[in-house]
Amino acid sequence: MLVFSKAKLVFLSVPKTGSTAYQASLSPLAAIAVTSPPELKHAPVFRYNRFFRPMIERFITPDVDVLAVMREPISWLGSWYRYRQRPAMAGTANSTQDLSFDDFVTAYCMGEQPGFAAVGAQSKFLEPQRNGTCVTHLFRYEDQPGLLHFLEQRLGTTIKTENLNASPACALELSAKTEARLRRKFSSDFALWEGIGANGHHTPLPARPKPAPKV
């Protein structure tokens, strides 16, 4: 997560969307650069709202925009699958070395996901909060020119990024049955990604309603 005080901008780091490359390039420009541990580097909206927003609004500005990047859901899962194929994961419970991509996605769709498939969901990461805290600018990972243009205009500088933390390439094939199941179960992710327009404009998913009190 990066906080730019003069630009009044917070850049949330959604996992598997190129966040490491942007942090490497933009950290020198940031007032706050949260690069570790992963739970803080990749703080989702709800964690930003609870722990970071009060501090930022008090000491920097109450008028801050929140930027994030979202990847096409199947491609995003493919990046997780490839990342967990790397040699360092061999022999661990989270390794995907002995699984096909179809097996991985099938496990991801289970009610109780095994450890190797428990990677969360982008829609949950980006979910608006009931107090109105939400992502105000959401770009598709696939629209790097649009994202770079926005950042350069907002930060007033030319930005160059390198391809860092990239997962090894491999075949990503899904059966029609598995893809259909994925699209049904994680329809919120597909709807959110498909609703992203030009210049980071998007239609946020509604915040989850407050649970009814137990009687």
- pLDDT for 215 equals 47
> pLDDT-based confidence at 160, cuts 50/70/90?
confident
CA distance 189 to 72: 8
pTM, two decimals, is 0.90
In the predicted structure, residue 212 carries a pLDDT above the cut 60 = no
Residue 18 lies in a domain: yes
In the predicted structure, residue 140 carries a pLDDT above the cut 70 = yes
Q: Where do runs of H (alpha helix) occur along 109-213?
A: 122-125, 144-155, 176-185, 187-194
- pLDDT for 167 equals 64
Tens of pLDDT, residues 74-130: 999 999 999 999 998 888 989 999 999 999 999 999 999 999 999 999 999 999 999
In the predicted structure, residue 204 carries a pLDDT above the cut 80 = no
Closest CA to 15 of 79, 72, 67, 74: 79
Pseudo-torsion of CA 169, 75, 84, 179, nearest 10°?
A: -110
Residue with tokens 């969360």, as numbered in its chain: 120
Residue 180 lies in a domain: yes
Contact 64, 56 (CB under 8 A): yes
Residue 114 lies in a domain: yes
How many Cα atoms within 13 Å fall on the side-chain side of residue 82? 16
> What mean pLDDT do residues 134-143 have?
96
Residues listed for the chain: 215
Residue 193 lies in a domain: yes
In the predicted structure, residue 208 carries a pLDDT above the cut 90 = no
- pLDDT for 62 equals 87
- pLDDT for 194 equals 95
Name 210's Cβ contacts closer than 8 Å, sequence gap at least 6. Answer: 130
- pLDDT for 91 equals 87
Residue percentage of the chain with pLDDT more than 70: 92
Could you give phi then psi for residue 145, rounded to 5 degrees? -60, -40
> What mean pLDDT do residues 139-168 have?
87
Q: What is the CATH number of the domain that holds 145?
A: 3.40.50
> What mean pLDDT do residues 12-21 have?
94
Tens of pLDDT, residues 37-50: 999 999 999 999 99
In the predicted structure, residue 190 carries a pLDDT above the cut 80 = yes
What mean pLDDT is reported for the chain?
91
Peptide bond into 37 cis (omega under 30): yes
Residue 209 lies in a domain: no
> What mean pLDDT do residues 29-42 have?
94
Tens of pLDDT, residues 52-78: 999 999 999 889 999 999 999 999 999
Residue 206 lies in a domain: no
> What mean pLDDT do residues 189-204 have?
86
Name 149's Cβ contacts closer than 8 Å, sequence gap at least 6. Answer: none
| Count of the separate structural domains present in the chain | 1
Residue 161 lies in a domain: yes
3-class state of residue 192 by DSSP: helix
Whole domain around residue 98: which residue ranges?
A: 2-200
